[in-house]
Every structure is written in structure tokens, then in C-alpha cells.
Amino acid sequence: MDIIRVEGGHAIEGSVCVSGAKNSALKLMAATLLAPGKTTLTNVPNISDVHVMGKVLKRMGATIEVVDEHSLVIDTSSVDSWEAPYELVAKMRASTAVMGPLLGRFGRAKIAMPGGCNLGARKIDMHILGLEALGVEFDTDHGYIYADASKGLTGTSVTLEFASVGATENLIMAAVKAKGETVIDNAAREPEIVDLANMLNKMGAKITGAGTPVVTIEGVDELHPVEHRVVGDRIEAGTFLVAGAIMASEQGVEVTGFNPVHLGMVLRKMELMGIRTERTENGMKVYRADRIAPVDIQTLPFPGFPTDMQAQVMVLSALADGTSIITENIFENRFMFASELSRMGANIRVEDHHALIHGVDGFSGAQVVSPDLRGGAALVIAGLIAEGVTEVSAIHHIYRGYERFVEKLTALGACVERVTLPDSIDD
């Protein structure tokens, strides 16, 4: 079993460059199915979720050439399967992103019911309702979703009940090959949606309005392969900004490789907490806060406060002078992290989808378990300022979304290491 061991109390400084966005790279990889031939993706994060998506594409018949650590050439010319198997989809919910491209290319898809982080129901009802409006017929059997668009995809108007990122992406990728015009109302506005639309437009799609609540797609007959660079990971950037806010030296920590506009609400809340940040030529610089002010936060779809930054900012709130309230509106199980942070001395009471956080003077090192991707990273960050040693287990969650996480923290001066523990006392 591997754990991350953190010795608290070591200031960090310097510069760290974030990787390409996990939530963008996975969908861009799926979108290559729409354009038979060789598509080149650069700035791809070298993380386990990307490896799983690569296996999904390979199982369908694609070939993937790893040009370097962050560049892939994906050849979908020989793809002849429209099935995403259970053993892969169960590892990562984003595997369902192949549904839209498969419907666009083959007119059918067979997708296992999704897995991924244990954050709650995360049903794909909105995906199905939206695709049904385009003419897709669905059937479920033995844990699989069967989607049939053999009669053709037809453009229409779709209003999403909630601004779901996954549903918006699947609808866009199916609609690019539909006959006529598709209008998605109440579409998700995340930067990763814009990145997907930009690549599809390079391929020959006709998408307007990405990044706004109304996305319009004019269907085309075919798409062609392109080269595209994955947008920088705003959530990884936010994670390192929080690390700097609690443990930066006087020189501060600079985070590069992302667009600060994509973290607008997070930076605004950090400002209200009394944390000083400044724009640099390549990103943002953050300085350690002498005093952290309490703040109330509600997670909402972009441009609201991202649910993927809730755990990291809870670490800050737990050290604030006063009481903060965090309201989780996206995933009902996202507060599993709170009980682990409480083991380190935080004072948090969870009531339904609200967390009441009374600030404490500091944390104590403890053995904690990573409950999910972002919660695991947040526990490591909390360990940076904790007294003594913190050991974080179940770190496979962290490596689903953070590339070289320990190495990047170490380069900043943190005392962090990945340790392999024996399986039993006899080893």
C-alpha cells in the first residue's frame, strides 16, 4: 500500500507549473472518435484517469502513440467497436463521454453504468433525456446502457434541468453530426466546455456560444483530425494556491500554466479571506496569510465556486479566525472529507449539505484516508501546516487527477514523500 507522508512546518516557495486539465483532456480524447485519422493532443496530463481513457479507446480499436510524456497521437481510423466495457467505465465516470462521439460516428453505443469518485448519485439522466431529444433510443439491461440512433440524429432544442458539464459535452459531441441545428439551453459554461468546442471547431464543427448558457451547433457531415493543446488545469492551480496561502515563505509561491480568469470566484473568496494574490506574466502569485478571515461559500456551476475546490478551501476555513459556512450544491457526498480533516483537529459540523466550520489555531498530524480525488489532495495540503507527521492513505484517488503531486510539492520545499508500506507484518 502506498501512502503520502507529510512532515508539517516547512515553508514553501518558488514556482510550480500545473499540468493540462484532467476534465478537459478526457473529453478531448473521447472527441477524437468523431474524426477518423490521427489527432495530436499536447499538454496532456500524465495521470491514471488519462491512462484509463486511453484503454477505453484502445479497446474500441484506436491506436495511441505516446510522443512524449504529455503528447499523444490518437489514431481512430480503425475503431470498429461502440462499447465502453464495465471494467474500465467502473474506474472512471468520464468514460461515459464516449457516448456522444460513438452516436455521432456509428449511430449507436453500449456504455456500462458509470463509476468514479464516490460523490453521490451523479446520475446520467440528463445525458439520456438530451440525447433522446436528438432521436436516440435507449434501453438498459444488466448494468449497460444501449443507445441507438440508427434512424439518424436530428437537431433540436434541448433545455437542461441543471447546467451539467457531462450532459453538455455529450450533447455537443453528438449534435456535431446531427442533421440541422441543435440549441442547448442552460448549458454548462466551464472552461473545459470551451476547450472542447474549440477543438471540435478546428475539426470542422460549427459550434457557437460555448462558455455561455446557450450553445448552438450546426450539424456537419464529417470532421477531420487536428492538433490541439489541452487547457491548463484550474483546479490543480487552485490547489497549489491554497498550499501557498497556508505555508508560503515571504517570497510567496507562483503558480503558472493556467488562465487565472478560470479561477475567478476562487480568487475572489481567497481575497475576502485576506489572502494576498497578484497576477504575474505566467499565472498567479500567492503569499501566506498571517490571519485568515471566515467566509461563506456555495458551490455552483461555473462561473460560481467550483465543487472541485471546496475541500481545499475548507482547509483554509478551518484555520480562520471565526466561523465559516460551506454549502455543497453539486454532490451530496462531498463532505466525507470533513471527518478526515477533523481527525487533524479541525472543528467542523456537517448538517445535510452545509458544513459549519469553526476556525482552530492549527492542525495536528494524523493518519487519514483520502476519500476522493480533491479531498485527498486537500489532506496533503493540510499536512503541510500540521504539527508533526500526517500520513494520507488511499492515494490512488489523488493520482487520478494530479500529476507528480509529491514531486511538485517537494520542489517547492515541502517535506513530502510517497512511501510504500508492507502488505502485512510478515513482509
Answer whether residue 376 shows pLDDT above 70. Answer: yes
Return d(Cα 347, Cα 79) in angstroms, integer: 53
Say what the pLDDT of residue 94 is: 65
Q: Considering the chain, what is the average pLDDT of its residues?
A: 93
Contact partners, residue 68, CB within 8 Å, separation at least 6? none
Does 43 carry a binding-site annotation? Answer: no
Position 390 scores a pLDDT of 98
28 and 150: one domain? yes
The whole-number average pLDDT for the span 337-356 is: 95
In a domain, 71, yes or no: yes
CATH assignment of the domain containing 412? 3.65.10.10
Q: Is 330 annotated as a binding residue?
A: yes
Select the more confidently predicted residue: 75 or 335.
75
Looking at residue 114, what is its pLDDT? Answer: 64
In a domain, 350, yes or no: yes
Residues 133 and 166 in one domain: yes
Residue 13, domain extent: 2-19+232-420
Q: Do 15 and 28 sit in the same domain of this protein?
A: no
Tell me whether residue 6 is in a domain. yes
Domain membership of residue 426 (yes or no) is no
Strand partners, 76: none
**202 is known to lie in a ligand binding site:** no
Among the options 4, 34, 117, 368, which is catalytic? 117
User: Does the pLDDT at position 210 exceed 60?
Assistant: yes
- Evaluate whether 368 touches 391 at the Cβ level (below 8 Å): yes
Q: Which of 71-85, 118-132, 327-341, 358-372 has the lowest mean pLDDT?
A: 118-132
Domain termination site, one of 229, 263, 294? 229
Whether 116 and 136 share a structural domain: yes
Check: CB of residue 12 under 8 Å from CB of residue 244.
Answer: yes
Are residues 288 and 149 located together in one domain of the fold? Answer: no
What does the alpha-carbon distance between residue 72 and residue 29 come to, in Å, rounded to a whole number? 9
83 and 202: one domain?
yes
Looking at 210, 229, 248, the residue that finishes a domain is: 229
Q: What is the DSSP letter of 98?
A: G
Pair 6, 34 in one domain: no
**166 and 263, same domain (yes or no):** no
d(CA 421, CA 352): 36
Residue 114 lies in a domain: yes
Whether residue 425 is contained in a domain is answered as: no
Least confident interval from 124-128, 165-169, 174-178, 242-246: 124-128
Cell of 70: 504529455
- Domains of the chain: total: 2
Cβ pair 128, 158 in contact under 8 A: no
End position of a domain, from candidates 214, 229, 244: 229
Amino acid at 125: D
The per-residue b/e assignment along 270-301, b for 16 or more CB within 10 angstroms, e otherwise, is beebbbebeeeeebbbbbbbeebbbbebbbeb
Report yes or no on 99 lying in a domain. yes
Q: Is the pLDDT of residue 162 over 80?
A: yes
Strand order in the sheet with 108-112: 83-84, 108-112, 144-148, 137-141
pLDDT in tens, 53-91: 999 999 999 999 999 999 999 999 999 999 887 788 777
Q: Report yes or no on 149 lying in a domain.
A: yes
Q: Is 309's pLDDT higher than 50?
A: yes
Pairing of strands 354-358, 367-369: unpaired
Q: Are residues 268 and 404 in the same domain?
A: yes
Residues 123 and 262 in one domain: no
17 annotated active-site? no
Q: Are residues 250 and 106 in the same domain?
A: no
Task: Indicate if 293 and 406 belong to the same structural domain.
Answer: yes
pLDDT level of residue 144 (50, 70, 90 thresholds): confident
